Structure 1
Amino acid sequence: MALKATVFKAILNIADMDRHYYADHHLTIARHPSENDERMMARLLAFALNASDSLEFTKGLSTDDEPDLWQKSLSDEIELWIELGLPDESRLRKASNRARKVLLYTYGGRGVPVWWEKNRGKLARFANMTIINLPQDEVEALAQLADRNMNLQINIQDGEVTVSSNDALVTLTPAPLN
């Protein structure tokens, strides 16, 4: 029998001073059985960094032809394709051809520089792609905030992200790779 996803509820109070975006989002997140808290919270962070009324989670890990998050136009064109982790170049090529803009949030500590060195040349040709690294120790700290019912305040200013709950505060500094 296949394992089922674990459902998490999150209320995000987002104050993004860099984009002048201020909103509350009530989200239901399905954590795939093979997904850990780090990856799920990285997805939540990617949502907060790109939040809009039309940004949504997809089937993610269980579907090969969908990203972790996307934003579609009213005519169903993919405006924004968001991936997480260290995907194959072929997956990113497909994303670049299908979407107006592609964002990749890498994380994984020592694996990131190895992956980047291997793929840098191939990915440089995609003008619509931005790759941002999430420092591993910061992602690990963020994972500590994971709870089945989360109420998180997220402040973004000058590229720095502060995520706070009732119990803890985590500061992240995403850094562009390209």
Structure 2
Amino acid sequence: MATGAVMYNFAVQLADVDRGVYEEVTLRAARHPSETDAYMMTRVLAYCLEYVAGIAFSEGISSTATEPAVLVRDLTGRLTTWIEVGAPDADRLHYGSKLADRTTVYTHRDPEKVIAAWAGKRIHQLEQITVQSFDPGFVDAAVAALERRNVMTVTRTDGQLYLDINGTSVSSAIHVHELG
């Protein structure tokens, strides 16, 4: 019998000074058995750092391969932002960047290796896609504090991310890698 997804709850105080976004957000994130904790934590951070009206987690790995980990739709239902997590392949980025106005990737992996895997591949509007990463060890430190029910404070200011999760504080620069 297959193991089901594990639900994680996050009560988030979000202060994104760089974008002028200040919100209290309650998230329920399902971690599929094939996901690592680092992938799920990166997915939650991507949601917080991209937070706007219309943002949502996709239905997940088990339901469809035609949606990113996180997406943003406008009031008409049109996909405006395609947000991948981890190390998506070139075909996914190509597909997503054709559907959405903006495509970005948040990775917990070595960004140089993630980007190198796309070399020579056809990706629509590659020059407009960004890859965002964190300092080495940042996501692992956040995962070490992860519980099924989490209280988080996420603060971004001057390109720096300050995270408090369940009383553990960690920080990182947000590294933005331009592909064009």
Pair in the same fold by TM > 0.5 = yes
Matches within 5 A, 1:43-58: 43-58=43-58
TM-score (norm 2): 0.90
Q: 2:112 matched to which residue of 1?
A: 113
Matched, 1:15 2:19: no
Q: 1:133 matched to which residue of 2?
A: 133
Give the Cα–Cα distance (whole angstroms) in 1 for the partners of residues 155 and 163 of structure 2.
7
Q: Could you list the runs of 5+ residues in structure 1 that have no partner in the other structure?
A: none
Give the Cα–Cα distance (whole angstroms) in 2 for the partners of residues 93 and 36 of structure 1.
25
Give the alignment's Cα RMSD to 1 decimal: 1.7
Residues 159, 174 of structure 2: 8 Å contact kept: yes
**What is the aligned length?**
176
Matched, 1:67 2:68: yes
Determine helix, strand or coil for the equivalent of 2:102: strand
Q: In structure 2, do the counterparts of structure 1 residues 93 and 79 end up closer, same or farther at CA, with 3 Å as the change threshold?
A: same
Matches within 5 A, 1:1-178: 1-62=1-62, 63-109=64-110, 112-120=111-119, 122=121, 123=123, 125-178=125-178
Give the Cα–Cα distance (whole angstroms) in 2 for the partners of residues 129 and 113 of structure 1.
14
Give the Cα–Cα distance (whole angstroms) in 1 for the partners of residues 154 and 69 of structure 2.
20
Q: Identity across aligned pairs (percent)?
A: 29
The structure with the largest helix share of the pair is: 1
Q: Could you list the runs of 5+ residues in structure 2 that have no partner in the other structure?
A: none
**Structure 2 residue identity aligned to 1:163:** L
TM-score (norm 1): 0.91
Give the Cα–Cα distance (whole angstroms) in 1 for the partners of residues 51 and 105 of structure 2.
15
